[in-house]
């Protein structure tokens, strides 16, 4: 990221025909020089300090922690650059709070614009029949932040009562990695499957054929899987952390993070009263269409881009 910022600065030193520069979270030293010559809009999804924190909590091994410390060394740069920027956009109020706290940034320069969703692709596909015992989640296996361990442990506790129950993970499992070993330890190899490299439409159709969506994340700067599931009208269970509550409103079952028992109970409740939770999911789709459609989001981006250009020119 540091060298990217230097290359961008060198390029812009001899290329002036740009109205605005938009950086996506490099937070590199070069931006401070670019900011002097161009209107600059910085997009920060969430402070990567959170990823670092949860990775350290997931493994106490000395070599692992040393490798993480080396990998996240760019955070020193980001913490120095972020407070000196003039305009920042982030996708949630929770990320605003965390950026202000972890990067020591003045809240007044941070603007919240939610991410948008393709609401014409993530649709219910009502012609597809739901499998009553198929659960679905989106998670990068072996990434501690996504909390997949707790979904797997919950699944293991439900197999006796629901022998046909299964969990589809939209993501890739690392061969012989932590997740693979945990699945073997729990004895649920036949109940878990992984799919990756799916199109948006294919993901939406997987939601349509499932009965419950699960988001067991420990942290989400902006939980895309949350709004994707809701847009597909599938009952949703999600952890009550970071940005998730502000995204879902009253249209999902919220549970504490890192709690497989609470997740198991929530799954049981939905399976035993499915029509009630399906009605909530229908209203959840309306919530997503009203608040996360790209027309609304792009208009908000257009406004902040024009304001950033005007503020720079007035200098």
Domain for residue 85, yes or no? yes
Question: Are 109 and 188 found together in one domain?
Answer: no
Question: Are 92 and 221 found together in one domain?
Answer: no
| pLDDT tens-place string over residues 244-262 | 999 999 999 999 999 999 9
Question: Are 53 and 179 found together in one domain?
Answer: no
Cβ atoms < 10 Å from Cβ of 40: 20
- Residue 113 banded pLDDT, cuts 50, 70, 90: very high
Domain holding 199, by residue range, is 134-291
| pLDDT tens-place string over residues 59-94 | 888 888 899 899 999 999 999 999 999 999 999 999
**Residues 218-238: what's their mean pLDDT?**
95
% of residues, the chain, pLDDT over 70: 99
Judged against a pLDDT cut of 90, whether residue 201 lies above it is answered with: yes
- Give the domain CATH number at 174: 3.40.50.2000
| Cα–Cα distance, 48 to 74 (Å, whole number) | 10
Task: Report the SS3 class of residue 255.
Answer: strand
Consecutive H or E run containing 138: strand 134-138
Dihedral angle of Cα 209, 211, 217, 222, to the nearest 10 degrees: 60
The string of DSSP letters for 48-74 reads THHHHHHHHHH---HHHHHHHHHHGGG
Domain for residue 127, yes or no? no
Cβ atoms < 10 Å from Cβ of 90: 28
Question: Are 149 and 64 found together in one domain?
Answer: no
DSSP 161: T
| pLDDT tens-place string over residues 205-224 | 999 999 999 999 999 989 89
**Residues 139-150: what's their mean pLDDT?**
81
CA distances from 254 to 185, 208, 244 (A): 28, 21, 9
| Cα–Cα distance, 92 to 114 (Å, whole number) | 6
Consecutive H or E run containing 24: strand 21-24
- Residue 141 banded pLDDT, cuts 50, 70, 90: low
CA distances from 309 to 19, 286, 301 (A): 7, 35, 12
Cβ atoms < 10 Å from Cβ of 166: 18
Residue in 116, 115, 125, 145 with CA at minimum distance from that of residue 49 = 145
């Amino acid at each position: 990221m540091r060298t990217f910022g230097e290359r961008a600065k060198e390029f812009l030193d001899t290329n002036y025909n740009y109205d605005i520069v938009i950086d996506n979270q490099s937070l590199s030293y070069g931006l401070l020089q670019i900011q002097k010559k161009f209107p600059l809009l910085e997009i920060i999804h969430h402070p990567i300090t959170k990823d670092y924190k949860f990775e350290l909590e997931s493994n106490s091994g000395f070599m692992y922690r040393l490798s993480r410390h080396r990998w996240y060394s760019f955070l020193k740069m980001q913490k120095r650059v972020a407070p000196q920027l003039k305009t920042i956009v982030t996708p949630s109020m929770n990320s605003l709070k965390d950026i202000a706290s972890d990067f020591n940034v003045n809240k007044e320069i941070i603007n919240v614009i939610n991410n948008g969703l393709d609401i014409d692709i993530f649709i219910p596909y009502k012609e597809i029949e739901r499998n009553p015992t198929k659960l679905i989640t989106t998670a990068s296996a072996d990434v501690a932040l996504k909390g997949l361990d707790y979904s797997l442990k919950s699944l293991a506790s439900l197999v006796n009562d629901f022998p046909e129950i299964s969990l589809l993970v939209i993501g890739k499992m690392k061969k012989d990695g932590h997740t693979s070993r945990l699945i073997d330890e729990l004895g649920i190899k036949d109940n878990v499957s992984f799919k990756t490299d799916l199109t948006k439409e294919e993901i939406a159709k997987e939601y349509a054929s499932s009965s419950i969506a699960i988001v067991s994340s420990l942290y989400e700067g902006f939980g895309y899987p949350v709004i994707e599931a809701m847009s597909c009208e599938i009952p949703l269970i999600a952890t009550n952390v970071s940005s998730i509550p502000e995204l879902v409103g009253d249209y999902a079952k919220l549970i504490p993070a890192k709690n497989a028992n609470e997740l198991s109970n929530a799954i049981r409740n939905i399976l035993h009263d499915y029509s009630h939770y399906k009605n909530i999911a229908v209203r959840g789709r309306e919530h997503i269409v009203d608040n996360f459609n790209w027309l609304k989001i792009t208009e908000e981006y257009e406004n902040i881009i024009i304001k950033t250009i005007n503020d720079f020119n007035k200098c």
